Amino acid sequence: MKTQRISITIFLVIALVIILNLLAGEFFFRLDFTQDKQYTLSNATTDILKGLDEPVTVKAYFSENLPPNFSGTRKDFKDLLIEYSSRSGGNVVYEFIDPNTDEKKEQEALQSGIQPVLIDVREKDQIKQQKAYMGALLQKGDQKEVIAFVQPGGAMEYALTTAIKKIAVIDKPTIAFSQGHGEPSLSSLTQAYTALSVLYQIEEVNIDDSTAIPQNLKALAILAPTDSFSPMEIGIIDQFVRSGGKLFIGLNRVTGDFTNATGTVQSIDLERWLESLGLLVQPNFVIDVNCGAVTVQQQQGGYTFANQVQFPYLPIINQFAEHPVTKGLEQVILQFASTVNYVGDSSKKFSPLLFTSDKSGAQSAPLYFDINKQWSNQDFTSSRLTIGGVLEGNFGDNLNSRLVLISDGDFAVNGERGRSQQLNPDNVSLLVNSIDWLADDTGLIDLRTKGVTSRPLDTLEDGTKTLLKYLNFLSPVLLVIVYGLARSQYRRKQRIDRMLENW
């Protein structure tokens, strides 16, 4: 009888395992306890997957037997593909290929546009370099898209979802950058152009007296203009916004010249139009204790050497309001920013987004940059000055108008070829997030900065680090002791119960 019960139990367990596996093939489910729901698909991704009309094939070229920080990325990417396949009703088909095991597979990965990266691997107390492939090729019919490298801890869902959307959606919405008033060309916005071209068709639009802004634009960006706008041109911009157009403005209200160490006011009449909307960009220079540095040539003892000097006119912004435009940003480096005040009425809503630190201030232009100045706390008597925000609401003819204003037009400009410089990634994200918020109604903006947040222990105080260390060490021991005591108490109670006459 006892043997029969054991056999039935074993049979039921095996049957339960089989049923659970069958259900797992049909339904994908997992619990997500991360702070930003790192492992939960967004509504934007779900909508795009449900809208697929034919299969998307994903060839994931990932090396195996990598160090833990890289092998974890492979597992996360595979889990993501499993969920994509489930949510799309099987329209996402995937396979994993290890290019390191076969020369033919390696050539296939290289021809697909996936380049290996060299990583350090410890083997028998030695460090050696190994080629690691961590990319994917997506295909839908004749359309192809490559994710050349899946960044560990990066915005993995954004990369995969936008790649699918890029090959699934033929007609992209159009955005434009204004030209004709000294604005940087698209060739000098290399990082922003690369990021924006995934979702948008990007054009240049000349704003002049005889040309209206195309109404098919999802958003228009006016970035760092230096020449004045005529009244007719201001009227064209005003009409675009009043009719529901979405506008981004990066405005240099002041400019700095390092050759003669002077800062001056810039007036191009665009600031007057902004003031008519209630946005007042002050003709001043923001200064901040939290700032960047400039290189200064100094002489000492007949020698010339370069020295890095803190320059408060280059504020580093790390205080942001909660908003889709600033989501995921950690720090933005600005150059000659100005304060922004809203002086309009309640028909429009102004939301400040970027703030200076608690030790900051503003200096009226024109002024002279004293590189050797010894700054003190008396120079920074203000805190959380607004240097950017969004305005939305009723601009006259439309209740859904939107405008993003940043009081520095150069923060996302790489520069022309030969003088191009790599920008801080968050600078680019600020511009791209702004365009997404203005132009994209699919919700992908929430994914662009959805990655694993870095929380290094080096930034913690020594006491906190010591507490965490002992908690990690003692917690398992305490759990075992508590379990042992509870089990011992339970066994003792059982023995006492058995000694009772009526047990």
68 in a structural domain:
yes
321 versus 154: which is more confidently predicted? 321
Backbone angles phi, psi at 161, to 5 degrees: -65, -45
Same domain, 163 and 180: no
Long-range pairs, 5-11, Cβ under 8 A, ≥24 = none
Same domain, 468 and 429: no
Angstrom distance (rounded) from CA 263 to CA 311: 13
Same domain, 446 and 491: no
Angstrom distance (rounded) from CA 110 to CA 104: 10
Same domain, 446 and 301: yes
- Predicted pLDDT at 27: 54
27 in a structural domain:
no
- Predicted pLDDT at 454: 46
Same domain, 164 and 181: no
Angstrom distance (rounded) from CA 117 to CA 134: 8
| Mean pLDDT computed over every residue of the chain | 85
The length of the chain is: 503
261 in a structural domain:
yes
Q: Dihedral of the CA atoms 387, 291, 288, 275 (nearest 10)?
A: -20
Sign of CA dihedral 471, 475, 477, 481: positive
- Residue range 473-489, pLDDT digits in tens: 777 788 878 888 888 88
CB 298 within 8 A of CB 317: no
Where a domain ends, among 117, 151, 168? 168
24 in a structural domain:
no
**Is it the case that residue 497 has pLDDT exceeding 70?**
yes
- Please report how the helices 68-87 and 43-50 are oriented relative to each other, as an axis angle in degrees rounded to 10: 50
State the number of CA atoms in the 13 A half-sphere of 55 facing the CB.
9
Which residues are 174's β-sheet partners? Answer: 201, 217
Same domain, 152 and 250: no
Same domain, 494 and 374: no
| Range among 30-34, 90-94, 459-463 rated most confident | 90-94
Q: Calculate Rg over the CA atoms of the chain.
A: 29
How many structural domains are present in the chain?
3
468 pLDDT band, cuts 50/70/90, is confident
**Is it the case that residue 127 has pLDDT exceeding 80?**
no
- Predicted pLDDT at 308: 83
Same domain, 281 and 414: yes
- Predicted pLDDT at 199: 82
- Residue range 384-434, pLDDT digits in tens: 999 999 999 888 776 788 999 999 999 999 998 778 899 999 999 999 999
Same domain, 110 and 254: no
Same domain, 162 and 200: no
For residue 433, count CB atoms less than 10 angstroms from its CB and return exposed for 0-12, middle for 13-18, buried for 19 or more.
Answer: buried
Structure tokens at 184: 């940087």
Percent of the chain with pLDDT over 90: 47
Same domain, 56 and 102: yes
- Predicted pLDDT at 26: 54
CB count within 10 Å of CB 275 equals 14
Identify the domain containing residue 490 by its residue range: 460-499
Same domain, 385 and 355: yes
- Predicted pLDDT at 502: 64
User: Which are the contacts of 177, defined by CB distance < 8 A and separation ≥ 6?
Assistant: 183, 186, 189, 202, 203, 204, 205, 220, 221, 222, 223
- Predicted pLDDT at 33: 46
